[in-house]
Amino acid sequence: MTSIHKRVLLTVIAAFLCVFSIVLWTIVVGRDMRTYSTPASVTADMTAEHAAAPLMAEDDEQADVAEPLPEEGVVEQDTVLIPSTETQEVQEPGVQRLELKQWGLSKRYELSIPSIGLHTAVYVPDRRYWDAQQWDLLERQMQVGLLQGAAAYPHSAAPGGAGALIIAGHSSPPSEQARLSAFGTLFSRLPDLSVGDTVALLRDGQTITYRVSGRSVVEATATEVLSQPDEGSMLKLITCYPIGTDARRLIVTAELVEG
């Protein structure tokens, strides 16, 4: 074999080996890529799953959030025969009117005592608890009125009428409710009244005048101060005494000024 033939043969063999190597490399690399690559369908599924993951987490988080609990002390109330004396720190006028109506209280008069700078509404309760001698409920009924001004006892005479008009007021707040009220110290200056001072009751545009005739201090249990006189027309103003306590009662009496 000549040298030319040898070179041709070597060239052919080299070319064959080169082609074979390229083919073999392609086969091996292609197989490895199929092994480690992810099919498009799987990739799409994974993408969808990861895209949905945050929404699932949001849903789970929302599901774990409990329904808000009612505020402490707030309960559903059924209809009761005895209205509540609980009041809010700041009452809307509508709430005040509803409570007064529930307890059978109505604004009847206005009380004016010029010498001590006092002018207030007087609320009169109905006689339901007085007539039934339910004294605890009568006390609660009176307390509702005292949060809005002065309160007359339900068996009182009308201003200027025969008998005694008996009106109570706070001299100092006996409770937190009274402290928050504008009327917790309404009668605090009642001890400053002197014999001869005038006290006026205003009703339907008419003024009925009384003149202070005396004062006394009695025990808190002295219920006789609520009794009606046999004759005449008088006014009794009652408040706790000494100021700042409820140990006793100060009673200021006044007689009707005729004409």
In this prediction, residue 13 carries a pLDDT of: 78
- Residue 73 domain flag: no
**Which residue in the block uniquely carries the two structure tokens 């509404």?**
121
Q: Are residues 141 and 16 in the same domain?
A: no
Give me the pLDDT at residue 36, please.
39
Q: What is the CATH number of the domain that holds 153?
A: 2.40.260.10
Per-residue confidence of the chain (259 residues) as pLDDT tens digits?
566 666 767 777 777 676 666 656 556 445 544 443 433 433 334 333 333 333 333 333 333 333 333 343 333 333 233 343 443 333 446 668 888 999 999 999 999 999 999 999 999 999 999 999 999 999 999 999 999 999 999 999 999 999 999 999 999 999 998 898 899 999 999 999 999 999 999 998 999 999 999 999 999 999 999 999 988 999 999 999 999 999 999 999 999 998 6
**185 inside domain:** yes
If asked whether residues 154 and 235 sit together in one domain, one would say yes
Identify whether residues 109 and 195 lie together within a single domain: yes
- Three-state SS for 11? helix
Report the distance separating Cα 174 and Cα 246, nearest Å. 8
User: Is residue 70 a part of any domain in this protein?
Assistant: no
40 and 146, same domain (yes or no): no
**Any domain includes 135:** yes
Show the CA angle centred on residue 177, arms to residues 176 and 178, nearest 5°: 90
Phi (first) and psi of residue 103, to 5 degrees: -90, 5
pLDDT at 46: 36
Range of the domain at 105: 93-256
Same domain, 53 and 99: no
Please give the tally of structural domains in the chain: 2
Same domain, residue pair 48 and 115: no
In a shared domain, residues 115 and 226 = yes
The pLDDT score that the predictor gives to residue 173 is 93
Residues 146 and 233 grouped into a single domain: yes
Q: Per the domain annotation, does 139 fall within a domain? A: yes
Task: Identify whether residues 224 and 159 lie together within a single domain.
Answer: yes
User: How confident is the model at residue 233, as a pLDDT?
Assistant: 95
Cα dist from 118 to 133, 166, 190, 219, 240, whole Å: 32, 17, 9, 25, 17
Q: What CA–CA distance (Å, rounded) separates 124 from 151?
A: 6
Which structure tokens are listed for 85? 């004396």
Maximum CA extent, the chain? 166
Q: Is residue 39 part of a domain?
A: yes
Domain co-membership, 98 together with 11: no
216 in any annotated domain: yes
| 199 and 131 together in one domain | yes
For 224-259, what is the HEC assignment?
HHHCCCCCCEEEEEEEEECCCCCCEEEEEEEEECCC
Chain mean position to CA 184: 20
Q: Is 128 helix (H, G, I), strand (E, B) or coil?
A: helix
Judged by DSSP in three states, 107 sits in: strand
Q: Mark whether 53 and 108 lie in a shared domain.
A: no
Tell me whether residue 72 is in a domain.
no
